[in-house]
């Protein structure tokens, strides 16, 4: 029988929602879902056969694990309201060091699923990297076992590496997605459907599953094709932010390719 069977989820945002659903699907008992508003706590609790609470003072005492999946800013104020010692606790954040829990309990850790989560898009957890860290080898083993019930892609990652993973994820996910948004905005100006870009977006992401992204690169910037770049910058003359970005990223691409040679 596995150690962690009863968990409390603190938070009801995108990550909390998808993680709670995945754990519940894997047979983990979600004792409670805490959120500041009853609407959001209930919305998630209903999905995972759980009880919604909005007061930390109503926290169940008998959970095997408290999972704080709340915003970085809210974490410390929630911890301050919890009874000390809290019990075994983890957070799910990329950029918060594990020792944030040091004053609150004995055994703690991090359970960081590296993925982009939206509330209404169910994700397949099975290949999502889950980055585990703990100050206690017993808890670390239990966290890995728990993670193993929802994913095949478990890693022990320290706080320093996790911070860098989070930063890299901002570039590869949030910033890449912003490039999609810009593409969509540009097409809308000429009444062209964003659908035309979708196979390209998909292939760009597929390519780097196999090739190194530097080797996978194509387009005018790697050959610093001044003629096309000047045309493009001219087309962006009424969108000065995108024009600056175009020039800056093109130069960055060219620089990275020159360094590689």
Q: How near is the Cβ of 85 to its own copies at its closest, in Å?
A: 27
Q: Does 197 bind its own copies (CB under 8 A)?
A: yes
- Spatial distance between the Cα atoms of 111 and 139, rounded to a whole number of angstroms: 11
Residues 6 or more apart whose Cβ sits within 8 Å of residue 12: 33, 34, 35, 40, 41, 43, 44
Judged by CB under 8 A, the number of residues near its own copies is: 96
Sketch the per residue contact string, 217 through 256, with its own copies: x for CB under 8 A, - otherwise: xxxxxx--x-xx--xx--xx----xx-xxx-xx--xx-xx
Q: How far is residue 136 from each of residues 13, 230, 254, measured CA to CA in Å?
A: 28, 57, 46
CA angle 186, 207, 22 (to 5 degrees): 90
> How much of the chain is helix, strand and coil, in % rounded to 5?
50, 15, 35
Q: How near is the Cβ of 259 to its own copies at its closest, in Å?
A: 10
For its own copies, the closer of residues 83 and 158 by Cβ is 158
Ranges within 124-163 binding its own copies (CB under 8 A): 127-129, 131, 153, 155, 157, 160-161, 163
Ranges within 6-45 binding its own copies (CB under 8 A): 14
* Own/partner pairs, 211-219, CB within 8 angstroms, 24+ separation: 214/256, 214/257, 214/260, 217/253, 217/257, 219/253
Q: Does 198 bind its own copies (CB under 8 A)?
A: yes
DSSP 128: -
Ranges within 48-107 binding its own copies (CB under 8 A): 71-73, 95
Give the one residue of 77, 99, 205, 258 binding its own copies; rule: CB under 8 A. Answer: 205
Structure tokens given for 38: 């009853």
Ranges within 107-126 binding its own copies (CB under 8 A): 114-118, 121, 123
Q: How near is the Cβ of 43 to its own copies at its closest, in Å?
A: 18
Q: Does 261 bind its own copies (CB under 8 A)?
A: no
């Amino acid at each position: 029988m596995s150690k962690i069977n009863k968990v409390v989820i603190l938070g009801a945002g995108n990550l909390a929602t998808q993680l709670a659903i995945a754990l519940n699907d894997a047979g983990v008992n979600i004792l409670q879902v805490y959120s500041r508003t009853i609407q959001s706590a209930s919305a998630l609790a209903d999905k995972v056969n759980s009880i919604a609470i909005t007061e930390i003072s109503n926290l169940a005492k008998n959970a095997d694990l408290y999972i704080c999946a709340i915003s970085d800013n809210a974490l410390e104020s929630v911890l301050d309201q919890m009874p000390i010692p809290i019990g075994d606790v983890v957070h799910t954040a990329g950029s918060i060091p594990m020792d944030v829990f040091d004053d609150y309990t004995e055994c703690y850790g991090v359970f960081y699923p590296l993925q982009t989560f939206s509330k209404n898009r169910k994700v397949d957890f099975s290949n999502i990297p889950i980055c585990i860290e703990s100050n206690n080898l017993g808890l670390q083993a239990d966290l890995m076992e728990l993670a193993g019930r929802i994913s095949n892609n478990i890693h022990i990652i320290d706080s320093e590496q996790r911070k860098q993973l989070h930063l890299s994820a901002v570039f590869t996910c949030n910033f890449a997605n912003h490039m999609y948004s810009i593409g969509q905005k540009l097409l809308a100006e000429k009444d062209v459907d964003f659908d035309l870009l979708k196979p390209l977006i998909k292939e760009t992401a597929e390519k780097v599953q196999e090739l190194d992204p530097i080797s996978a690169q194509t387009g005018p910037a790697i050959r610093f094709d001044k003629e096309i770049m000047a045309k493009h910058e001219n087309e962006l003359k009424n969108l000065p932010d995108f024009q600056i970005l175009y020039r800056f990223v093109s130069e960055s691409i060219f620089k990275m390719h020159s360094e590689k040679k």
